[in-house]
Structure 1
Amino acid sequence: MGRFVGTGFEQSRGVRRVARVLGPIGGIGVAGVVLSACNIPTFGAFKGNTVQGNSTFHLWQGFFVASIFVGGITFALLALAIIRFRRKGESIIPKQIHGNTKLEVFYTVVPVLIVAVLYFFTVRVENKVDTVARNPNLRVDVTGFQWGWKFYYPKYGVTTITKGVDLYPTLELPVGETATFRLVSNDVVHGFYMPEFDFSRYALPGVTNYFDFTPQHTANFLGRCSQFCGLYHADMLFYVHVVSPSQFQSWIHAHQGS
């Protein structure tokens, strides 16, 4: 009887010790979430300088926050099991049972609900990213080839193309206007990657991909091929300039007939 009472006391003391350890951690976590409610960290990702990319960025934030909560609960329960039920003698702790229907239903249903919610938001964002406007402000044909890019603006008859190493083409886009892209490959698989737009899409031989960009802010950065495609893959770069509509028209006029 004394041994049983002692064991119960030790368990109670173990629970209090766990509470002292996890309490401050939980408080810090809750405070961090509350204080960052209006400014969630980027978690290492670009904010996505397009309407479509910004939606992808917020999805990334949501997944990361969800993983923090799930991981925090998992490690808290693991710490509880390690501390509370560590070996203290020859007796078996905790009490051995064959099953707990309510607990099993709980830890089956909750993960399914979490996955269902994440799936719902993923589909919604994917649909937004893959939607192509019927009447875009601009159309751009993109062709990947070993080892460069060609950008053609059919409305204006303007083409920019890779002309050797360090002579990268420019993709000029007007801010606030929707541009529809037509992406193809002339030879092998290439990856059309624009990091600050949070966007990457394969350029596949025999396949035509369509997608939209609606830039939100002026910017300058490098795009690249994200799929190894041969000897000079590393030099398969291009400039991206997001400018005002008036600057875009000036750029078009400067390149027409050239």
Structure 2
Amino acid sequence: MAPHERVRSVLENRLTQRVIIAVIIVNAVTIGCETSSALMERAGGFLHVVDRVALGIFALELAARLYAYRGAFFKDPWNWFDAVIVTLALIPASGPTSILRALRILRALRLLSVVPSMRRVVSALLAAVPGMASIIGLLVLLIYIAAVIATKLFGDIAPDRFDELPRSLFTLFQIMTGDDWGNTAQTVMEHKPWAWIFFIVYILMSTFVALNLFIAVVVNAMNDAEPSPAENRAEVELRELKEDMAVLNAKLDRLLARPNGHQPRSRTPA
């Protein structure tokens, strides 16, 4: 077995993957602890050492993957994702309030590339983007039309919420999320009692129709990304086959490495 193949088998080992996951989680916890001034006074040095060790492990693992997969490394988008995260972490950050120092928590996003189930979730969300784009466009159009109507009808009644189009857009976005829409409606209805029709129709169209369509597209994409039992069995069988092939290759390498003097001599008939 070639050296880069040995490195690849180590990287693909379940124990190695679990160790990387544990390092990511521990590093995320230590970065969170660094936000506490009390913890930094008592264990700041230890937290800094843990952070440096974790960063070293990430860099070493990334270099090992680059060596093991060679050109195939750059064909996987997840490898580019990990490379960007680790590179940002390697850039020195000056000052406790540096943006790069705050962005160190992005290392926790490496769980997305290491944990297979999380990778499937992200892949499903990306696959749902075309469908979500259409629904988002519909939702934006609905909010814009409602904002223009609300500005014309309620701008003089509630100027703090509907005096201009940008403010009306923000107010209607709040109403769509259910934030304080009752008080807004009551304020307008004190002057125009029929305004409840506008708010009820808007909430039904934005929340119960558009947002539910949005959720339906995401759920459908998640179901499509979920592997079937047959695919799970095939993945397990493929993993076992790779392990068996690695064992056979190791045995073959040992046989080929034996000197000629240790090989049994064939007997010639007398």
TM-score (norm 1): 0.24
Name the structure with the higher strand share.
1
Higher RCO (CA < 8 A, seq sep 6+): 1
TM-score (norm 2): 0.23
